[in-house]
Amino acid sequence: MSSKERLKILKMIDEGKITAEEGTQLLGALKKQEEHRSGATEGGAQWLRIRVSDLNSGKETVRVSLPIGLVNIGMKMGARFVPEIEEEAVMEDLAEALTQGMAGKIIDIVDEADGERVEIFIE
């Protein structure tokens, strides 16, 4: 686990974005991810990548990469911050893709009202 990742989590706690308990869970998941890296199967999916781009310009506005080990915790935390998730099927698709070890683009959503495209990849 890099010090950059630890500092990012500590900053999220400091800013009140997550609780100290959630931060501890994230740090534990990062440590567990690091321990399992040496035992990971070759070619196995390691990262969840989320890309948001503007439909008009095509320019990326958000690019996030998360270790797969943090995704389950992140999904639980995300539900806390966005309880009105309308597309429950999207979350189910993501959970299924993770449990089946899928790789590649798994979700591609176009939101014409906001002029955004959201793509989720497992690599």
Give me the torsion for CA of 39, 27, 50, 102, rounded to 10°: 30
pLDDT of residue 39: 44
User: What confidence tens digit (pLDDT) does each residue in 89-108 have?
Assistant: 666 777 777 777 778 888 88
Domain ranges of the chain: 1-39, 42-123
Sheet holding 104-111, edge to edge: 60-67, 47-54, 116-122, 104-111
The 8-class DSSP code of residue 6 comes to H
pLDDT of residue 59: 93
| Cross-strand pairs, 105 | 121
Residues 6+ apart with CB under 8 A from 37: none
With a cut of 50, list the residues of the chain below it in pLDDT. 38-42
For the four alpha carbons of 90, 15, 63 and 72, in that order, the dihedral sign comes to negative
